[in-house]
Amino acid sequence: METVKHIEQHSVQPFSTPVVGRFAPSPTGRMHAGNVFAALVAWLVAKSQGGRVVLRIEDLDAERSKPQFIDAVQRDFERLGLTWDEGPYFQHDRTEAYRAAFEELVAQGLVYPCFCTRADLHAASAPHRGEKPVYPGTCRGLSSEVRARRAAERTPAERLIVPDETVAFTDLIQGPYAQNLAHDCGDFLVRRSDGAFAYQLAVVVDDAEQGVNSVVRGVDLLCSTPQQLYLQTLLDLPHPTYAHVPLITAEHDRRLSKRDKDAALDALLARFSTPAGVIGHIAGLTGLAPTDEPVTPEELLAIFDLSALPTTFPDLVQIRWK
C-alpha cells in the first residue's frame, strides 16, 4: 500500500536555531528580475528572523558556468544591497562531499546505472501533470551481465530508486504540497553520464553542510523539493523550511531567462536609475511594498511580515513583468 510521509520541517516561528538562508545562483548569465526577486525574499525571510545568509555559487555544470558571471553575480548582489554573511562557497570545490553522499546511497543499494540517451528519455516519458518527465524505470531491472556489457561501451549515468511513497510538506508560500515519488517523479539522477553529480544531490549536501535551514527560491523548483526531502531522509540530514516564490514572467507568460535583455540587471539599472529604483519596482510589482517607489532591502525589512507572505503576492505562480 502506498504510504504518505509528512515531512516535519523546522517550525516557522519562533526558530529554535538561528535562521540560515542562502543565495544559490548558477553563474550561467547575468541576474534578471526573477532572480533578484527570489534573492530579495530569501534575504528578507532570513533577516526578519535575525538570521544569516550564505552565498553559494552553483557552478556544478562546468560547461554552462562562466567565470565572468561568477564575478558579475556577486557585484550584482552587492550593488542591490543584498548582503551575505558567509561564503561564497563553490560547488566545484565540493566533489568529495558529493561523492561521499553518493557512496552512502550506493551502500544502501538504492543506486543503479542508467544507459538511456536523451532521445530514449524523450521517447519514453510523457510529461506528467505538466510538471516534469517521469523516468519510467527502463534501466532499473537490467541484469549485472547487461550492465557490465553496456558499461564497457559507454559510461552510464546513475539513478536513485524511489519508493511508491508520497512526500508531503508545507511550503511557506505555496502551502501544502505532495508528490508521489514513484508516479510523479520516478527514479532520478544522482550522477550524470559525464561524471558530474546531479543538482538534487549537490544541493541537499550543500544545504546541510552550510547549515541552511531556510530555502527560498523560484516556484519552478517546487517539484524538485520532494526529491530533496527524500534525499535528506536517506542521508539523515535535517529538512529546511521551503518557500517558493512566484516566477516573474515576460510577455505571453514566457519565463524570464538570463538572456532576456529587458529584465537583465544592467537594463534594469539603466531603466530605474539606481539599485533602489530596481528593488522598488520589483517590490511594488510583487506586493512586497505598497508602491514602486525606490527602496533598499534594509528599508523593506522594516515593513516585511513573514506571516503575510502567502497573501502578499498577487499570484502565487507567476507575476507579469512590467
Per CB under 6 A, the list member of 19, 20, 24, 205 interacting with ligand GLU is 24
C-beta of 56: minimal distance to ligand GLU in Å? 8
3-state secondary structure 268-290: HHHHHCCHHHHHHHHHHHHCCCC
C-beta of 202: minimal distance to ligand GLU in Å? 9
| Residue 240 CB neighbours (<10 A) | 25
| Residue 114 is assigned to a ligand binding site | yes
Does position 280 bind ligand GLU by CB under 6 A?
no
Cα–Cα separations (whole angstroms), residue 183 to 3, 7, 63, 108, 136: 13, 18, 32, 22, 9
Amino acid letter, 100? A
- Of 184-223, binders to ligand GLU (CB under 6 A) are 203, 217, 221
Which stretches within the chain are classed as H helix?
33-47, 67-80, 95-107, 118-124, 144-153, 199-209, 225-234, 265-272, 275-286, 297-303, 309-312
- Give the integer Cα–Cα distance in Å for 301 and 47: 8
Does position 26 bind ligand GLU by CB under 6 A?
yes
Q: Per CB under 6 A, which region of 13-21, 23-31, 126-134, 141-149 contacts ligand GLU?
A: 23-31
Between 25 and 51, CB nearer to ligand GLU: 25
The site map against ligand GLU for 31-70 (x = CB under 6 A) is ---------------------------x------------
Q: Among 322, 303, 304, 297, which Cα is nearest to 40's?
A: 297
Does position 25 bind ligand GLU by CB under 6 A?
yes
Where is the binding site, in residues? 22-26, 58, 114, 116, 135, 139, 199, 217, 258
Q: Which residues bind ligand GLU (CB under 6 A)?
A: 24-26, 58, 203, 217, 221
